């Protein structure tokens, strides 16, 4: 049985579905008459494939019949795309052999096909395809073409009028005759929701005159090459005459894709976060005079800062969606209701896809002088200018959502850490560190608490080489996402990037045996302790 859903089939496979699997020797390098599919290593995938041009990679599992069913369609698509312009490189990667690559590239099931364009990833919607359909390969080709053949050449102003009528966001590249425009072609492949058109020489000049006469633009480009954006919000148009660098063109388009200032809503949250632009959030009481002034100052200065950030205005008296944002930003909602607060949140992604607030690549920034709030300083125009300028020039360091660092006395059996000191304690290469990731509301965590404390007391004599640590994973932003509580992991000394999960019985003896088996430093018995007069004050204890 083969299911048409990759996810359902993968579950079926895990439950012991088909066993008549063909030998995976079929999956070496494949050379056809027109195209070659390379068998990739993780190193080749990371160092060669994504960095330039266009590449298509199929991630597979050796024991997956569904992958075997899909392979002929993949090869057929490769053959059809072999003469594609721009050229496409093709590869396959064995996910069982290279599991780190599967995690790194977010492969949800087998097979998964990804298109790499200028170091951006796009995933083929395989769940919408049926391998029993003879047109499956053609659908793969069409999907690739939608991402790569994005440039439409205009021959007349009539072509322009049709494009304007049918596309809410239009990017027009204007070039002299025989100008290559390769930088613009790169940008055309990076946006699924932007329509790209080009015009050359005489037609380019006619296009500019036509737009100006119809008042679609308020001024004309001073030279070619130039790019004109037409859209339905803010100023409705923008002109780019900067450097011929697709990174800067991308940033120019990104900064105009959504309105410069939006009211924060549940519906718009995903659009902002996946916009690829930094977003400055203003959290204020919209009914207070102070909140109204903070917003007015922001709106007045926003046009000066176009291209650097987007702005979102949040009502401090809002509902659950505001509380979720405040939790991620580490802002106390009650404080924000008293005094307006500003933060910058940045997720450097350009794809239109759901992005979780708790994605570790989301970075947060606060103003350099956070005490401006406690001092009661108004968020005036200079505040916004300074905040954005310091973000732009890289002088602001990202922060993590964290509880305050607890006060330590030096004799704790179990040390509670928070996001702010997690790296200093847990990632200290000199020590083995056992970490209990817990949630305050978790019944299993509460049952473990006494046992874990007893463990900490029993090995306290090893504190120079072993730390027993706990962290509230619901209140602190951590380098891994914890979905099950409690999660217990050992970070061995000198091997912090290879933590070991604890899966045994949660007893003191089982924890100690786990430490003996996996810690770098020796788990020694507790020696006797004597006072200055030679009297034993603590008996030795065998672990």
What are 200's two structure tokens? 């050359």
Lowest mean pLDDT among 74-78, 161-165, 238-242, 355-359: 355-359
Using CA atoms, how far residue 525 sits from 288, 454, 522, 528, in Å, is 64, 15, 9, 10
pLDDT at 458: 94
Task: Please indicate whether residue 410 or residue 214 has the higher confidence score (pLDDT).
Answer: 214
Buried b (16+ CB within 10 A) or exposed e, 347-378: bebbeeeebebeeeebbbbbbeeeebbeeeee
Closest among 89, 80, 79 to 51, alpha carbons compared: 89
- What is the spatial distance between Cα 433 and Cα 413, in angstroms, rounded to a whole number? 12
pLDDT at 200: 93
Four-way CATH pick for 415-518: 3.30.470.20, 1.20.1090.10, 3.40.30.10, 3.40.718.10: 3.40.30.10
Closest among 366, 416, 431, 371 to 395, alpha carbons compared: 366
pLDDT at 369: 65
pLDDT level of residue 489 (50, 70, 90 thresholds): very high
Which contacts (CB < 8 Å, 24+ apart) does range 96-102 have?
A: 96/61, 96/62, 96/63, 98/41, 98/42, 98/45, 100/42, 101/42, 101/45, 101/46, 101/59, 102/59
pLDDT at 20: 32
Task: Please indicate whether residue 289 or residue 534 has the higher confidence score (pLDDT).
Answer: 289
Domain 30-147 matching CATH 2.40.10.120: the answer reads no
Q: Write phi, then psi, for 475 (nearest 5 degrees).
A: -115, 0
pLDDT reading at 418 higher than 90: yes
What stretches of 413-471 show up as alpha helix (H) in DSSP?
Answer: 419-426, 443-458
The sign of the dihedral angle between the CA atoms of 28, 31, 37, 41 is positive
What are 414's two structure tokens? 């179990």
Average confidence score pLDDT of the chain:
84
Write out the DSSP string of 349-383. Answer: --SSS---TT-TT-EEE--S-THHHHTT----HHH
Q: Do domains 151-257 and 261-350+359-393 have the same CATH topology?
A: yes
Q: What fold characterizes domain 151-257?
A: Glutaredoxin (3.40.30)
- Report the CATH number of the 261-350+359-393 domain: 3.40.30.10
pLDDT reading at 112 higher than 90: yes
Section 248-263 average pLDDT = 91
Q: Write phi, then psi, for 332 (nearest 5 degrees).
A: -75, 120
pLDDT level of residue 377 (50, 70, 90 thresholds): low
What are 493's two structure tokens? 């000394």
Angle between helices 289-301 and 381-392 (to 10 degrees): 50
* Terminal CA-CA length for the chain: 53
pLDDT digits (tens, 9 = 90+) for 274-287: 788 999 999 999 89
Residue spans per domain, the chain: 30-147, 151-257, 261-350+359-393, 415-518
- What is the spatial distance between Cα 492 and Cα 506, in angstroms, rounded to a whole number? 19
Angle between helices 6-14 and 65-81 (to 10 degrees): 140
- What is the spatial distance between Cα 181 and Cα 225, in angstroms, rounded to a whole number? 8
Buried b (16+ CB within 10 A) or exposed e, 324-343: ebbbbbbbebeebbebbbbb
- What is the spatial distance between Cα 228 and Cα 212, in angstroms, rounded to a whole number? 11
Greatest extent of the chain over all pairs of C-alpha atoms, in Å? 102
Neighbours of 503 (CB within 10 A): 7
pLDDT at 352: 35
pLDDT level of residue 13 (50, 70, 90 thresholds): very low
What are 92's two structure tokens? 């396959």
pLDDT reading at 314 higher than 60: yes
């Amino acid at each position: 049985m083969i299911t048409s859903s990759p996810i359902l089939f993968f579950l079926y496979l895990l439950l012991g579905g088909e066993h008549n699997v063909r030998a995976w020797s079929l999956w070496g390098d494949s050379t056809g008459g027109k195209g070659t599919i390379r068998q990739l290593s993780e190193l080749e995938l990371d160092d060669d494939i994504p960095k330039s041009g266009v590449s298509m990679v199929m991630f597979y599992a050796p024991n997956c019949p569904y992958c075997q069913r899909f392979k002929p369609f993949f090869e057929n698509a490769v053959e059809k795309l072999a003469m594609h312009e721009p050229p496409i490189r093709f590869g396959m990667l064995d996910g069982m052999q290279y599991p780190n690559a599967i995690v790194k590239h977010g492969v949800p099931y087998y097979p998964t096909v990804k298109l790499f364009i200028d170091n951006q990833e796009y995933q083929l919607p395989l769940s919408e395809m049926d391998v029993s359909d003879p047109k499956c390969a053609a659908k793969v080709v069409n999907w690739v073409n939608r991402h790569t053949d994005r440039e439409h050449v205009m021959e007349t102003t009539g072509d322009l009028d049709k494009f304007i009528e049918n596309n809410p966001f239009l990017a027009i590249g204007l070039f002299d005759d025989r100008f290559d425009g390769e930088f613009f072609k790169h940008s055309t492949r990076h946006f699924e929701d932007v329509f790209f058109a080009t015009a050359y020489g005489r037609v380019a000049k006619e296009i500019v005159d036509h737009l100006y006469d119809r008042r679609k633009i308020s001024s004309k480009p001073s030279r070619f090459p130039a790019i004109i954006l037409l859209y339905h919000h803010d100023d409705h148009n923008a002109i780019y005459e900067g450097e011929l660098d697709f990174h800067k063109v991308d940033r120019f388009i990104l900064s105009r894709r959504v309105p410069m200032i939006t009211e924060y809503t549940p519906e718009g949250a995903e659009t902002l976060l996946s916009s690829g632009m930094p977003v400055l959030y203003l959290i204020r009481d919209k009914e207070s005079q102070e909140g109204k002034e903070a917003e007015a100052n922001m709106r007045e200065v926003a046009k000066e800062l176009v291209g650097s950030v987007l702005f979102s205005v949040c009502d401090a008296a809002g509902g659950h969606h505001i509380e979720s944002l405040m939790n991620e930003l580490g802002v106390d909602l009650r404080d924000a209701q008293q005094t307006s607060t500003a933060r910058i949140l940045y997720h450097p992604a350009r794809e239109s896809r759901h992005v979780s607030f708790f994605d570790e690549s989301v970075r947060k920034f606060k103003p350099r002088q956070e005490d401006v709030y406690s001092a009661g300083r108004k968020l005036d125009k200079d505040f916004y200018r300074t905040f954005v300028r310091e973000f732009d020039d890289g002088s602001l360091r990202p922060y993590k959502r964290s509880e305050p660092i607890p006060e330590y006395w030096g004799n704790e059996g179990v040390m509670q850490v928070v996001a702010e000191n997690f790296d200093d304690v847990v990632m200290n290469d000199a020590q083995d560190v056992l970490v209990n990731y817990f949630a305050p509301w978790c019944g299993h965590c509460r049952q473990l608490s006494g046992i874990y404390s007893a463990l900490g007391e029993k090995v306290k004599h090893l504190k120079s080489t072993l730390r027993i640590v706990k962290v509230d994973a619901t209140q602190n932003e951590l380098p891994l996402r914890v979905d099950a509580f409690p999660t217990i992991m050992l970070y061995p000394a000198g091997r912090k990037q290879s933590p070991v999960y604890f899966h045994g019985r949660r007893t003191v003896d089982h924890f100690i045996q786990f430490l003996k088996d996996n810690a770098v430093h020796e788990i020694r018995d507790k020696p006797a302790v004597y006072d200055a007069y030679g009297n034993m004050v603590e008996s030795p204890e065998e672990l």
